[in-house]
């Protein structure tokens, strides 16, 4: 039996056609689930009883569960328990323009970035679509808020769970579901090059963020093992292709590690790589953890790095910090189990 939250509207339309029903039944199901927030199939009162009985044989609406919530001033971190007793985390951030969520896409992560707490828990499995969708629904209901933007930037590498992540994006973007605009959905990847080319052809033009973090292959391979497979030169080419196909600006994420990647030399090398491209660099003050040996660059170093990029004509920002007091900031998420 499969979870109803796993299915895009198009997939449900196909199902209804296959059982000899009209495809508008899929829209009715979506309205009950996402707009009316009714999860008991017996309560889908505008759908004939015999169809409801058939639905109950094929589908369930089981939920993952909230185990814990930690609160900071503008941030809430949620720990979820999955049906197989695995754990994931998601983070809510309140901005003056709305509420955003950072969702997880995998249990654990195989990318093994040296500075990232999330990667210490090796990948156990991909999340199903419903396990991503329900992170949003459960938090909206718990906090009584509407989430207006989504970043797929929690535990896991989204492009390593490509099919499920794309279905998740289609569902949350659907006007009959959560109706989150494509320009308010951001996918962050450490650079799975073949999937970046695939993503560029997606009809829904979401935002793409690349975890870059070092402008030379030697340093990037030390920090990010993925670079040994997908190195900088072909990654830059994939980014150029993405820009050409989508006409959408790409974010380059760069975590600031003290005495590792924060020198003026590296700032200039980074500027050389991205000169003239429709990107902006998001400098991320490193969020220290108890388990990893890296430390945060000083404000002075971050400012010098910022100024160097700015003078070289690179659009650059410094990320506003959220949730570091509750280990909910970038790079700090980790399933509570096995800590």
Question: Which domains, ranges and CATH numbers included, belong to the chain?
Answer: 2-60 (1.10.150.530), 65-326 (3.20.20.70)
In degrees rounded to 5, what are phi and psi of residue 113? Answer: -60, 130
Cβ atoms of 220 and 213 closer than 8 Å: yes
DSSP secondary-structure letter at 302?
H
Report the pLDDT averaged over residues 273-286: 96
- Per the DSSP assignment, residues forming a β-bridge with 211 are 253
Could you tell me the two tokens for 250? 């790409």
Residues 6+ apart with CB under 8 A from 261: 213, 214, 215, 219, 223, 254, 255
> Sorting pLDDT into bands at 50, 70 and 90, what band is 291?
low
Q: Long-range CB contacts (< 8 A, 24+ apart) of 46-50?
A: none
DSSP-assigned letter for residue 176: T
Beta partners for 103? 152
Task: For Cα atoms 226, 308, 209, give the angle at the middle one, nearest 5 degrees.
Answer: 35
Contact 161, 105 (CB under 8 A): yes
326, pLDDT greater than 60: no
- Taking residues 126-130, report their average pLDDT: 98
For residue 146, pLDDT beyond 90: yes
For the chain, give the mean pLDDT.
93
Q: What is the dihedral of CA 206, 200, 193, 223, to 10 degrees?
A: -20
> Is a pLDDT exceeding 80 seen at residue 325?
no
Q: Does the pLDDT at position 337 exceed 60?
A: no
Percent of the chain scoring above 70 in pLDDT: 94
Position 231 pLDDT exceeds 60: yes
Tell me what pLDDT residue 222 has.
97
Predicted confidence (pLDDT) at residue 290 exceeds the cutoff of 90: no
Q: Other CB atoms closer than 10 Å to residue 186's CB: what's the count?
A: 17
Q: Are 210 and 186 in contact (CB under 8 A)?
A: no
Compute the average pLDDT of residues 282-299: 87
Residue of 159, 228, 225, 220 lying closest to 188 (CA atoms): 159
Q: Distance (Å, rounded) from C-alpha 146 to C-alpha 142?
A: 11
Is residue 336 pLDDT above 80, yes or no? no
Res 323: pLDDT: 46
Contact 128, 180 (CB under 8 A): no
Confidence of residue 72 (pLDDT cuts 50, 70, 90): confident
What's the average model confidence in pLDDT over 206-219?
98
Residue positions annotated with a catalytic role = 89, 330
Give the pLDDT of residue 321: 67
Closest residue by Cα to residue 332 from 115, 170, 70:
115
Residues with Cβ within 8 Å of residue 84, at least 6 apart in sequence: none
Under a CB-based contact definition with an 8 Å cutoff, are residues 224 and 255 in contact? no
State yes or no: pLDDT of 119 exceeds 70.
no
Strand partners for 279: 250
Query: How big is the CA angle at 210 (ends 209 and 211), to the nearest 5 degrees?
Result: 120
**What is the spatial distance between Cα 268 and Cα 312, in angstroms, rounded to a whole number?**
8
Tally of CA atoms within 13 A in the half-sphere of 87 that contains its CB: 15
- Asked if residue 334 has pLDDT above 70, the reply is no
pLDDT at 104 over 80: yes
Identify the band that residue 331 occupies on the pLDDT scale cut at 50, 70 and 90. very low
Average pLDDT over residues 188-204: 96
């Amino acid at each position: 039996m499969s979870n109803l939250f796993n299915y895009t509207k198009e997939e449900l339309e196909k199902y209804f056609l296959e059982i000899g029903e009209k495809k508008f039944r899929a829209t009715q199901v979506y309205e009950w689930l996402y707009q009316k927030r009714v999860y008991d199939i017996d309560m889908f009162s505008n759908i004939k009883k015999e169809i409801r009985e058939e639905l109950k044989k094929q589908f369930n609406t089981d939920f993952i569960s909230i185990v814990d919530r930690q609160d900071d001033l503008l941030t809430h971190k949620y720990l979820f328990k999955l049906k197989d007793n695995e754990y994931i985390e998601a983070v809510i951030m309140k901005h003056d323009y709305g509420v955003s969520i950072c969702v997880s896409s995998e249990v654990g992560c195989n990318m093994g970035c040296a500075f990232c707490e999330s990667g210490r828990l090796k990948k156990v499995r991909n999340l199903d679509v419903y396990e991503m969708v329900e992170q949003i629904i459960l938090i909206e209901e718990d906090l009584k808020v509407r989430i207006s933007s989504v970043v797929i930037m929690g535990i896991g590498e989204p492009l390593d769970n490509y099919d499920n992540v794309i279905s998740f994006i289609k569902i949350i973007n659907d006007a009959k579901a959560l109706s989150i605009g494509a320009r308010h959905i951001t996918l962050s990847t450490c650079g799975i090059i073949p999937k970046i080319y695939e993503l560029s052809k997606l009809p829904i033009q979401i935002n793409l963020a690349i975890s870059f973090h070092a402008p030379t292959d030697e340093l990037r391979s030390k920090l990010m093992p993925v670079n040994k497979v997908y190195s900088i030169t072909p990654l830059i080419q994939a980014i150029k292709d993405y820009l050409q196909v989508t006409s959408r600006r790409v974010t380059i994420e760069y975590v600031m590690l003290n005495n590792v990647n924060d020198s003026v030399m590296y700032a200039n090398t980074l500027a050389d790589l991205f000169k003239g491209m429709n990107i902006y660099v998001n400098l991320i003050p490193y969020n220290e953890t108890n388990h990893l040996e890296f430390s945060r660059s000083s404000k002075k170093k971050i400012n010098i790095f910022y100024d160097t990029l700015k003078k070289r004509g690179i659009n650059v920002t410094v990320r506003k910090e959220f949730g570091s007091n509750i280990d909910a900031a970038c790079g700090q998420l980790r399933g509570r189990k096995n800590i």
